[in-house]
Structure 1
Amino acid sequence: MRVLLVAVLVASLASCTAPAGDSPPVIVPKGPGEQAATVAPEDVGTDRWSAPSEADLKYVASMIEHHRQALVMSALAPERASNETVKGLASRIHDTQGPEIGAMEQWRRQFAEQAPAHGHRGELPHVDHRSMPGMATDEQLAALRAARGPEFDRLFLQLMIAHHEGALTMANELLASGSDVRVEEMANDVVASQSDEIARMRAITIP
């Protein structure tokens, strides 16, 4: 029995001290329909670059524009809204989504910088803003700009709830098809913050 234990201990020590190159590669799953990548054991847990999926790129490009419209809408509230809760919510949306745009733009810059060095062309997808769920039309934005008082409050809540619901649709689609961890974290943040804000907006009563 003692000989057996010694043999097991020696084998364990040998495996711990074996060169990294002798260890089998780690398989990293990608998005649906994409071939899995192999990563050397020493690269696991590091910031080793891997190309994001088309779903990641499309989501970030779309959500930047989606957030920008929310900033336009929320910036109208201080001078036009009469309900203090609406004003506070609009301020929160503006303060939250501005930094989120900055984070997404930084991610895009890093992708554009790193892609050519890894044999990727670094092309960003074209996004049809009109096709994004929840986006207010030009006519709806014009009506919001023209409204004042309770009329503004009601229209703002109507448009922003629809806008947030569209963002949830986009985020959930990304979580089902994306592959980049940072983009998934951003999508999870959208789901958490905007689900809470939808509940707050639905609870507001405008006489």
Structure 2
Amino acid sequence: MRQKVPFGIAQIGKAFRNEITPRQFLFRSREFEQMEIEYFIDPEADYEAIQEDWLNEMWNFLKAVGLNEALLDREVHKGDKLAHYARACTDVVFRYPFGTQELLGVAARGEYDLQQHAAASGESLEYQVPGQKRKFVPHVIEPSLGVDRLFLALLCSAYDEDEINGEKRSLLRFHPCVAPITCAIFPLLKNKSGLVDKARNSHACCANCPFESELQCLAPAQGNVKHTHHLPLAD
């Protein structure tokens, strides 16, 4: 089925950069995962409003996966920092331990991308408005995010330290939506039948919960881990 403008295409894949001095753990490397959306719009559309909508969507996504909003900010590209082909660009930056750096960007790239593809391929990429004679080369709004940088930001947001009975410990408090396991049952000792029985009873209680149809065993009984399950979150 032919898509009507506006519409978007999302993709994720490997990207490479001629990085002379890779550094800062996952943040700056020669090979990384990149995900982006190419959102095609009418040249006469209000690109600033659409860009702002995408910035809000991306901001909400970052909060939803567990990033600390207090560590997020916006940085608008102006003057020499704005690419020659871009009509506007705003980054969402994150305060990493080594400093505030770009996490994602949302750029209004005009018709530059499609014009370059058309010039290289020799094919017209004009869009004809259904039922009209009007044609145009769509403009692009591009949200772009590095997966590795996001993962690093998640680690930084999840890291915490606390103290129990005078003993200090370091831990990761991941948001449940990205935690691989949200509910687990661990008998302290596998050779004490009383503890194992309690674990099995707890497992039976979980199996009778409202999420029974989505309760899934992720690991067989081994070591002192008797039952491990994933439970969806309640609203």
> Into which bin does the TM-score normalised by the smaller protein fall?
under 0.3
Structure-2-length-normalised TM-score: 0.22
TM-score by length of 1: 0.24
Between Structure 1 and Structure 2, the one with more strand by share is 2
